[in-house]
Amino acid sequence: MRKILLTLFISFLFVAGISALSFCSQQDNPESRVSSLLQVAQDYIEGISQSTAGNEEGIENLVEEYEVIVQDIEDSIEETTSDEGLLRAIEAVSSGTARHLEVLEGLLDKVPEKARSAIEHAIEVSQRGREKALSRLQEVLLKRERERERIREEEQLQEQEQLQEQEQLQLQEQEQEQERFLGEFEKPEHPGSTHSGRSNNRRDRK
């Protein structure tokens, strides 16, 4: 009876998973798609957890479906263009796969020997998804650091250009001031003043 119920439960998961995948594929926002796919992956993990009693085939099928979901999650992360959205998606994948690993590792000692390889494979799949998400996170952080460095360099260059412009303006003002000073110093006396001086000299001689 238990095996029949588990078979029905697994069948339900497959149908629900197909419907969820169809819904996820219709979402334009990769970040939202990641969130929905993580929920589907969690459902499969719960299905694996409840299929531990003598249902090796059911576990293997669920693990295969879980691997497909994890691959879809990885693809959706790669499609995320917004840095903020990508960071949120990666954070969700990191925490989600951490929960998956905790459940799967706890099942290793509970499942029949024949099902251990399937559980171990599910653990590898979950670890791979987590590592890829964290690797993508490092790429984003490195990209952001490079962008901040580029902005700092541009700001420093602008400051240097502004200082050079100010120095040139000051130099031009100094040159103009010198020209005005020299122009006033070399300016000839008014002709009338010279003529008046000569007339006075003539009267003095008389």
Q: Provide the CATH number for the domain around residue 61.
A: 1.20.58
> How confident is the model over 31-42, as pLDDT tens digits?
888 889 999 999
Q: In total, how many domains does the chain have?
A: 1
Backbone angles phi, psi at 27, to 5 degrees: -80, 130
> How confident is the model over 139-198, as pLDDT tens digits?
877 887 888 889 989 999 999 999 999 999 998 888 888 888 777 766 555 555 555 555
Quick one: which H or E segment has residue 78? helix 56-79
Residue 174 lies in a domain: no
Residue 78 lies in a domain: yes
Handedness of CA 166, 172, 178, 184 (dihedral sign): negative
Residue 179 lies in a domain: no
What DSSP state is assigned to residue 52?
T
Residue 180 lies in a domain: no
Residue 189 lies in a domain: no
pTM given for the model: 0.57
Residue 12 lies in a domain: yes
- Non-local (6+) Cβ contacts of 2 within 8 A are 53
The residue range of the domain holding 129 is 2-154
Task: Report the length, in residues, of the chain.
Answer: 206
What is the C-alpha to C-alpha distance for residues 29 and 94, in angstroms, rounded to an integer? 19
Residue 142 lies in a domain: yes
> How confident is the model over 71-118, as pLDDT tens digits?
999 888 888 777 788 888 888 888 999 999 999 999 888 888 888 888
